[in-house]
Amino acid sequence: MELTVLDQNNDAAAAAAGGCSTGSCGTTDDQMSHLPDSIREKVENHPCYSEEAHHYFARMHVAVAPACNIQCHYCNRKYDCSNESRPGVVSELLTPDQAVMKTKAVAANIPQMTVLGIAGPGDPLANPERTFETFRRLSEEAPDIKLCVSTNGLALPESVDELAKHNIDHVTITINTVDPDIGAQIYPWIYWNNRRIRGRRGAEILIEQQQKGLQMLVDRGILVKVNSVMIPGVNDQHLKEVSRIVKEKGAFLHNVMPLISEPEHGTFYGLMGQRGPEPEELQDLQDECAGDMNMMRHCRQCRADAVGLLGEDRGEEFTIDKIEQMNIDYDAAMQTRKVVHEGIMEELHEKQEKKRRLAAVSVSANDATPQANTRPALMAVATSGGGLINQHFGHATEFLIYEASPAGVRFISHRKVDQYCIGNDSCGEKESALAGSIRALKGCEAVLCSKIGYEPWSLLEEAGIVPNGEHAMEPIEEAVLAVYQEMAAEGKLEEPQPEAAVSQTASA
């Protein structure tokens, strides 16, 4: 079961491209399986937390909370909260009333929508009236929708009681540091007890509040996810400690996101020339943190008013004037939703079963052959969703990076690329943008896609990346494993990785 993916190759979508792009996610070996049953039940059909679920279930955000009570150096307050969105995105601000209307309209039209989040455009908890009125009404009027909220944490302790009253079981806190000296390099000031507090002291209060809030939520059995923005030279090494601490305190997921600091977004970091991490730096850090904690690698940094499956935005279908025309009978919708959800859960369970069988097969197949000691290899996949290799190389706005090794196939990360071809027109920048895509694939030994043009084909080969269009429409993991086994059979894995690709897997 799959939602229709809207055609993103039109102008409106291009304009919104600062937000989510088309594409899909990666599924790693059952990321949720280590969690206690009580938690697993809660997150099983949450599209942001379960890598499986977000192929099937949809989430939406409503932008009801404009104000913010701190300043992050990676945020330009003209735009949405950078903790939750890519910078440079502006959401349509809604009143709580409009937000409730929109949520019900989407839930009725997209029965796969299970989660409603408030993530901005500012800090939801710095807008307690707007945020809580929205939650209060939804808990009453649409009890089958899960609610979640994300925050910078400053106002979290005072909000926990109110949060606990509603249907809210997921809170995301952005924690970039536990060290006030590092904090002072990220947060120039906070607004606290009716004053602006600058520098180290401000960061210290923010950190205290974040940690206190985290503890209070965990004590009440509310799930906490922690997001961190990786800022090279500021908190990159430190995030390992953050990961360890938040895990000890009981956060169930830690999600490390790359700093995005394009100068044109006008953030302090962007204007000052602070760089973001290279894909391999991010991946290394995520790997190191993963030993400590379950990582969320498929996060897409959606925009605050996003609607749809992760990586897909159907917001255009649900603008306020369109919603006002819709006549929603929510009781009837809830019946339909229930049937659809049950169907999806069944399909998910079947898929997990199949995966377990597949894993068992591939391990034993490897055990039986001398290839059991082959080195790991990274591969990139172009997909538009559904867990299949189903996208043209030239249409991919991002690639999913997988690592294949004798232990099996695991999802590593997303890598964004600029599209080098967006249809008939505007292919002028083609050459250089294509080179950009190839750079984004650094470290990969193969790229799997449904089709690929002649020109990129030869450029990829020159870069030491083998283009592969033979597995179109096949499930990603099976195809990656098949290619890995071919590489092994051809003896490619006995040679060291080709020059151009070496830097990546060396440390991975």
Partner 1 sequence: MSLAIVDSCVNCWACYDVCPSDAIYQSSPHFLIDTKKCTECEGDYAHPQCASICPIEQAILDASGMPVNPYGSLTGIPPELLEDAMQEIQSR
3-state helix, strand, coil in the chain (%, to 5): 45, 15, 40
Question: What DSSP character marks residue 443?
Answer: T
Q: Is 122 in the site for partner 1 (CB under 8 A)?
A: yes
Q: Is 78 in the site for partner 1 (CB under 8 A)?
A: yes
| Binding-residue total with partner 1 (CB under 8 A) | 27
Q: How far is CA 35 from CA 32, 222, 304, 396, in A?
A: 6, 15, 28, 33
Stretch that binds ligand SF4, among 75-83, 363-371, 474-482, 490-498 (CB under 6 A): 75-83
Nearest distance from C-beta of residue 81 to ligand SF4, angstroms = 3
* Site of tokens 């730096």: 281
Non-local (6+) Cβ contacts of 361 within 8 A are none
Q: Is 72 in the site for ligand SF4 (CB under 6 A)?
A: yes
Q: Is 305 in the site for ligand SF4 (CB under 6 A)?
A: no
Looking at 234, 246, 302, 434, which residue binds partner 1 (CB under 8 A)?
Answer: 234
8 A C-beta contact, residue 43 and residue 102? no
8 A C-beta contact, residue 298 and residue 283? no
Stretch that binds partner 1, among 99-107, 169-177, 195-203, 384-392 (CB under 8 A): 195-203
Closest to partner 1 by CB, 303 or 355: 303
Of 227, 229, 223, the C-alpha closest to 251 is: 223
8 A C-beta contact, residue 8 and residue 316? no
Q: Is 150 in the site for ligand SF4 (CB under 6 A)?
A: no
Closest to ligand SF4 by CB, 186 or 381: 186
| Binding-residue total with ligand SF4 (CB under 6 A) | 11
Looking at 112, 114, 152, 374, which residue binds ligand SF4 (CB under 6 A)?
Answer: 152
The entry of partner 1, ligand SF4, none that residue 214 binds, CB within 5 to 8 Å by partner kind = none
Task: Report helix, strand or coil for 360.
Answer: helix
Nearest distance from C-beta of residue 296 to partner 1, angstroms = 25
The entry of ligand SF4, partner 1, none that residue 244 binds, CB within 5 to 8 Å by partner kind = none
Nearest distance from C-beta of residue 269 to partner 1, angstroms = 7
Task: Please state, in angstroms and rounded to a whole number, the distance separating the CA atoms of residues 173 and 119.
Answer: 11
Q: Is 70 in the site for ligand SF4 (CB under 6 A)?
A: yes
Q: Is 75 in the site for ligand SF4 (CB under 6 A)?
A: yes
8 A C-beta contact, residue 125 and residue 156? yes
HEC sequence for 42-97: HHCCCCCCCCCHHHCCEEEEECCECCCCEECCCCCCCCCCCCCCCCCCCCCCCCHH
Stretch that binds ligand SF4, among 69-77, 105-113, 389-397, 497-505 (CB under 6 A): 69-77
Stretch that binds ligand SF4, among 76-84, 130-138, 476-484, 493-501 (CB under 6 A): 76-84
Of 484, 444, 480, 439, the C-alpha closest to 464 is: 444
Site for partner 1 in 253-312 (CB under 8 A): 268-269, 272-275
8 A C-beta contact, residue 267 and residue 76? yes
Task: Please state, in angstroms and rounded to a whole number, the distance separating the CA atoms of residues 194 and 147.
Answer: 30
Task: Please state, in angstroms and rounded to a whole number, the distance separating the CA atoms of residues 422 and 8.
Answer: 10
Q: Is 188 in the site for partner 1 (CB under 8 A)?
A: yes
Nearest distance from C-beta of residue 291 to partner 1, angstroms = 25
Task: Please state, in angstroms and rounded to a whole number, the distance separating the CA atoms of residues 444 and 438.
Answer: 10
Q: Is 196 in the site for partner 1 (CB under 8 A)?
A: yes
8 A C-beta contact, residue 187 and residue 156? no
Closest to partner 1 by CB, 72 or 480: 72
Looking at 47, 124, 213, 232, which residue binds partner 1 (CB under 8 A)?
Answer: 232
Q: Is 430 in the site for partner 1 (CB under 8 A)?
A: no
Closest to partner 1 by CB, 233 or 491: 233
Nearest distance from C-beta of residue 188 to partner 1, angstroms = 5
Burial class of residue 80 in the structure, from the number of CB atoms within 10 Å of its CB (0-12 exposed, 13-18 middle, 19+ buried):
buried
What is the distance between the terminal CA atoms of the chain, rounded to a whole angstrom? 34
Nearest distance from C-beta of residue 117 to ligand SF4, angstroms = 14
Looking at 8, 83, 235, 413, which residue binds ligand SF4 (CB under 6 A)?
Answer: 83
List contacts with partner 1 (CB under 8 A).
66-69, 71, 77-78, 122, 126-127, 188-189, 191, 194-196, 198-199, 232-234, 268-269, 272-275
List contacts with ligand SF4 (CB under 6 A).
68, 70-72, 75, 81-83, 122-123, 152
